Structure 1
Amino acid sequence: MFTIGLDIGTTNICVAMTEMETRRLVKTVTLKNDSFVVGEKPFQKMQDPEKIFGIVKKALSELMNTNTDIGAIGVTGQMHGIVYCDKSGKHVSPLFTWQDCSGNEAFMGTTYCGYINKKTGYKTASGFGLVTHFYNTLNGITPLNSYKFCTIHDYIVMRLCALKEPLVHISDAASFGIYDLVNNRFDFNSLDRLGLDSDILPNVTEKTVFAGKTNVDFLPKGIPVTVAIGDNQASFLGSVKSPPDSVLVNMGTGSQISVMTELVTCPSSGEIRPFLENTYLFVGSSLCGGRAYQILESFFKDCRVLFGLPENDDESLFPSMDKLSEKAFELSNPLLVGCEFCGTRENPDKRGVIENIGVDNFTPAHLICGVLRGTVNELFEIFESYRPYLTSQPKRLIGSGNGIRKSAVWQKLFEERFNMKLTVSENKEEAAYGASVFANKAFNNLRMCEFEL
């Protein structure tokens, strides 16, 4: 018997099939998520839910081209964003993604985010579901026939199971913002102060449970489908075999560090997010991360044009940069590079710096190595701020994301800075694989309940 994990990402949609007994990854299908739609405002970042469902249908159909015995389906996807649904369970709006910047627009002498944070005491960011909903409500964008809102992966669960309203896992509910983790509910008093009607909020569960069973024409009917979970939590579940003593670092376009705790305490930087079974994840994100390396490549391409060399946007400079990066551990007097080129969540106006420039180290190799070290240092500093709140100190360093997978130098730099051996996650599609693991857990919980009955 097998489980399926489905990941609704911002740029790709992936499905993964795993053996239930061994949890061995058997097959994956990844399709491009080309569902972006143009909004009326340049700061709106939206996708078409119907097109997303069509891509999901295609991916699942391709994965299920054999008469495979499927025990359960798990679902995950991009957190924070919201789609409005009516009482029949049909979407009545586009997906307002986590990239939506309406919360950064001017409002009442500050921004929508700034107003919410001051009024409620919660730390929110533009792209959080309730920030987007606050902006939409005040600007007449919320559809009149809206009944509930949910994440895109919650909506896909509704469509797969023909449900009329969403059931949202706490991992996603908290990502909307203004969520009281101590009492495990939305903060209704804060929502009242903002003038928001709480009736539009979805029902929330903290349990590893099924939301329904498949009821579509492209899948066998009656396959249990879990409540969807956040992609950060799914990636942690899919990458880390020993959560209590592990720290997960991810280096992609952005970068992220996640470590498990049992304490509901939010540090000064980053966030605390619900995980599973009364545990939580400290999560710190770099807004630039691996993109810093791409920015440096663009700089070198501009230099090439400046010196009269032919311009060729299709030619990648990464192989040459990677070759020079191998000198990272033999270069003396390194450059100290702060890679906050896109700011931070706490300070969007912060910018990167290059320090310790001397006559002997102002070279391309030093700059390349400085950027790589800078991206690692940014995550390590976040990790250090979490140490006092951890219930146990991590002994294992797990790496994921294409940046870490493809660069032995990045791997070694992480090991050096964290003073731990780094193990690269076995499965490339960590979130989809993690969703299948979550489905396996829900299936085992169901069997245990049936046994007890």
Structure 2
Amino acid sequence: MKTVAGIDLGTQSMKVVIYDYEKKEIIEKASCPMDLISEADGTREQTTEWFDKGLEVCFGKLSAENKKTIEAIGVSGQQHGFVPLDKDGKPLYNIKLWCDTSTAEECAYITKKAGGDKKVVAALGNLMLPGFTAPKILWLKNHKPDAFAKLTYIMLPHDYLNWKLTGEYVMEYGDSSGTALFDSKKRCWSKKICDIIDSSLMSKLPKLIEAHEAAGKVSAEAAKAYGIPEGIPVSAGGGDNMMGAVGTGTVADGFLTMSMGTSGTLYGYSDKPIADPANGLSGFCSSTGGWLPLLCTMNCTVSTEFIRGLFNLEVKELDGIAAKAPCGSEGVLVIPFFNGERTPNLPNGRASITGMTSANTSRENICRAAMESSVFAMRGGLDAFRKLGFQPKEIRLIGGGSKSPLWRQIAADVMNLPIRVPALDEAAALGGAVQALWCLKSQSGKCDIAQLCAEHIKLDESKNADPIAANVAAYDKAYADYQKMVDTVSPLYK
């Protein structure tokens, strides 16, 4: 048996899968929940100790026999998080996460010093947003100056796991492009932005490596700690969206992946730089050598979880109740900014339920509106893709939302595109495993990632959802009403 392993470090949990690349199946998987530090000022943090524990727990749950067969490992991690370490690799502060919105002042400072939004976009291909890494570094400098003075290593979550496995300090282009320190078009660090934060920052950033290269080899220490083979390659890895692209086969023009988890993301592979930051389309690099324009919302399944809790419903109960309401929920709208929002850029945004009358106020309409809002929020990203000349063929749907037949149909109708679901779940972890296989095969010769994904990423035809013309028309109107309401309330939170 020949296997590779994929690790997915998410916001809510860490997962590890062992993938038999000859039989093309996941033979074993394990997970460990992750805690979250959450404060009213938008703070969202975790600790390196929790990440360390996650590796121990997950690998500890896997069988010794299966672990012996692992030939390479690939790591996926939540994007943008800032892991600050001193010269001995000790944490200097908590890890500020992608969903942390406490750095709005730092974003405004960097943007002003750079000459405004247009100059920032010219330097990075992205706006300076609270979710990105750069303002988190400045936050540490401003709020924890003693810790900043000792800062030696700047890592993203997936880089930290790579470092734990190999002892090597490197970063690849995909996750780097989500730091807001990186020029996505030129594929290099932006000295202009780095110098605004601190004149020493450029010297502290890691070496950049290509997507097919190894970050390093499993160290003797890691092999002993986790029961995995010493000396096997650990691939470059990448952000969870970049690895989700690999795990869904979104490595060629025309395919989009939509992830419906805590956050919502919509992204597609491009062989040239594509970005529209003003409309929420970030200009990221892929972790397969090209580019991965991406829209991210901070509130996707968050909205249904809050509504489900409000009515004290189980997941399937919410789906059943929502299914009784018509498309558009008779005009009821949920504005889902429970955690602030990134697209549109409203770190101080608030959620609301609106459009209610004496005739349409019902659990059914509110539950369905919560589901619809998650997709409406990404419809704008699809429009931005099309304006830039991207011709979408279909959407590969992953995340918790992909498990719901109703949500799959809503997505197909709102986006007016076929929805397809990968046969194997855990797309980010599987993407890490497939990238690890790419790295392994590249060591003995050139290997094509698109061909590799075509061989290993299969779709579950029983979960297909295609747009229904009448529903598409209803949702075009409902989406217009939703967008009008978002435009109306947005000035309240700026």
Same fold, judged at TM 0.5 (above): yes
By how many angstroms is 1:288 displaced?
1.8
Q: Hey, what's the Cα distance between the residues in 1 that align with 2:41 and 2:146?
A: 15
Q: Hey, what's the Cα distance between the residues in 1 that align with 2:142 and 2:240?
A: 29
Query: Contact between 2:264 and 2:298, CA under 8 Å: does it hold in 1?
Result: yes
> Who is 1:321 aligned against?
318
Higher helix share: 2
Which sits farther off after the overlay, 129-138 or 348-357? 348-357
> Who is 1:371 aligned against?
370
Q: Hey, what's the Cα distance between the residues in 2 that align with 1:153 and 1:220?
A: 20
> Who is 2:4 aligned against?
3
Query: Contact between 1:377 and 1:417, CA under 8 Å: does it hold in 2?
Result: yes
> Who is 1:400 aligned against?
398
> Who is 1:205 aligned against?
209
Q: Hey, what's the Cα distance between the residues in 1 that align with 2:361 and 2:369?
A: 11
> Who is 1:237 aligned against?
246
SS of 1:410 mapped into structure 2: helix
The residue identity in structure 2 corresponding to 1:57 is: E
Q: Does 1:339 align with 2:350?
A: no
Match of 1:119 among 113, 119, 130: 113
> Who is 1:255 aligned against?
264
By how many angstroms is 1:200 displaced?
1.6
Q: Hey, what's the Cα distance between the residues in 1 that align with 2:419 and 2:176?
A: 32
Query: Contact between 1:263 and 1:389, CA under 8 Å: does it hold in 2?
Result: no
Which TM-score applies when normalising by structure 1?
0.85
Within 5 A, what are the aligned runs for 1:154-165? Answer: 154-163=159-168
Match of 1:151 among 147, 156, 161: 156
**Residues 277 and 224 of structure 1: is their aligned pair in 2 closer, same or farther, counting only changes over 3 Å?**
closer
**Residues 323 and 442 of structure 1: is their aligned pair in 2 closer, same or farther, counting only changes over 3 Å?**
same
**Residues 22 and 388 of structure 1: is their aligned pair in 2 closer, same or farther, counting only changes over 3 Å?**
farther
Q: Hey, what's the Cα distance between the residues in 2 that align with 1:61 and 1:285?
A: 33
Q: Hey, what's the Cα distance between the residues in 1 that align with 2:384 and 2:328?
A: 29
The residue identity in structure 1 corresponding to 2:433 is: S
Q: Hey, what's the Cα distance between the residues in 2 that align with 1:154 and 1:251?
A: 24
> Who is 1:297 aligned against?
308
Q: Percent identity?
A: 21
Within 5 A, what are the aligned runs for 1:23-422? Answer: 23-34=24-35, 44-66=43-65, 68-104=68-104, 111-120=105-114, 121-122=119-120, 123-139=127-143, 140-163=145-168, 166-197=169-200, 198-215=202-219, 216=221, 217=224, 218-240=227-249, 243-267=252-276, 268-270=278-280, 271-300=282-311, 316-329=313-326, 334-342=330-338, 343-345=340-342, 346-348=344-346, 349=348, 357=356, 360-391=359-390, 393-405=391-403, 407-422=404-419
**Residues 115 and 50 of structure 1: is their aligned pair in 2 closer, same or farther, counting only changes over 3 Å?**
same
Query: Contact between 1:79 and 1:172, CA under 8 Å: does it hold in 2?
Result: yes
By how many angstroms is 1:113 displaced?
1.1
How many residue pairs match? The answer is: 423
**Residues 7 and 356 of structure 1: is their aligned pair in 2 closer, same or farther, counting only changes over 3 Å?**
closer
**How big is each residue's C-alpha offset from its partner over 1:211-243, in whole Å with a ceiling of 9 and x where there is no partner?**
211112132211111123111111121123664
Q: Hey, what's the Cα distance between the residues in 2 that align with 1:33 and 1:347?
A: 27
The residue identity in structure 2 corresponding to 1:395 is: K
**How big is each residue's C-alpha offset from its partner over 1:128-155, in whole Å with a ceiling of 9 and x where there is no partner?**
2221111211331534332221113212
SS of 2:397 mapped into structure 1: strand
SS of 2:211 mapped into structure 1: coil
**Residues 61 and 340 of structure 1: is their aligned pair in 2 closer, same or farther, counting only changes over 3 Å?**
closer
Query: Contact between 1:82 and 1:95, CA under 8 Å: does it hold in 2?
Result: yes
Q: Hey, what's the Cα distance between the residues in 1 that align with 2:329 and 2:133?
A: 46
The residue identity in structure 2 corresponding to 1:382 is: G
**Residues 356 and 21 of structure 1: is their aligned pair in 2 closer, same or farther, counting only changes over 3 Å?**
same
> Who is 1:425 aligned against?
422
Query: Contact between 1:287 and 1:340, CA under 8 Å: does it hold in 2?
Result: no
SS of 1:5 mapped into structure 2: strand
SS of 2:19 mapped into structure 1: strand
By how many angstroms is 1:387 displaced?
0.9
